[in-house]
Amino acid sequence: MPAKRSYADPCGIARALDVVGDRWALLVVRELMLGPKRYTDLLRGLPGLSPDVLAQRLRELEAAGVARRASLPPPAAAKVYELTDRGRELEPVLLALGRWGSREPLPGGRRPLGVDAFALALPTLFDAAAAGDLEATVELRLGEDRVVARVRDGRLEVRRATAEHPDAVLEADPATLTQILWHGRPLDGAEAEQAIRISGSRRVAKRFLRLFPPPQTPASAR
């Protein structure tokens, strides 16, 4: 295997990029941020990534102490990859990058947001002032995936899990929720077309969907 290139720069930013600056590395971290994943699930979440490059990035992240291999407990008993504590420290970095990048033009011929990318877009665009004193747990059923979003004390936490007693449940694919949240698709129309299903408190569900204003396009550079 060729030696990993380095910026050979003592700056902390350069040293961080030595670890996670290679193409796809931070997106692999993104896919693991909500919880462990099998190798095949990582490939599914990153459809433009080849198996060889994924294997290389995982080896590099393991060597850097960012990710590790683990086994899920029975009955799953599957081999997975997960972030270490040091890897999870990248969460605010990813969210800040997402917040900054969400104001850039969308790529042409783009793929729809994957489950993890969509879930992490929520805290990226979360409006704490709009949340106010809301305390609620919302379960997002995104195909086979389950994500719990918990709003409390003006903060939003998302994780891959099922909720025991959610205040509301939203069942849709990420593309539908993306259209409703950021592209002006009316919720009532999506419901009528059975593209989204709401159970539990409709009041909580509708208020939750108002907590993520679309990003503003940046002004032209002067």
In this structure, whether the domain defined by 115-209 belongs to CATH 3.90.1150.10 is answered with no
The CATH code of the domain at 12-101 is: 1.10.10.10
**pLDDT single digits (tens) 78-123:** 899 999 999 999 999 999 999 999 988 877 766 778 999 999 999 9
Looking at residues 149-154, what average pLDDT do you find?
A: 96
Is 221's pLDDT higher than 70? no
Domains of the chain, residue spans = 12-101, 115-209
Is residue 9 classed as helix, strand or coil in its secondary structure?
coil
**Closest C-alpha to 3, from 40, 55, 56:** 56
Contact 198, 166 (CB under 8 A): no
Q: Is the pLDDT of residue 47 over 70?
A: yes
pLDDT above 70 (res 137): yes
**Helix runs in the chain, H state only:** 12-20, 25-32, 39-45, 51-63, 85-88, 91-101, 115-125, 128-131, 174-182, 187-192, 202-209
Q: What are phi and psi of 189, to 5 degrees?
A: -65, -40
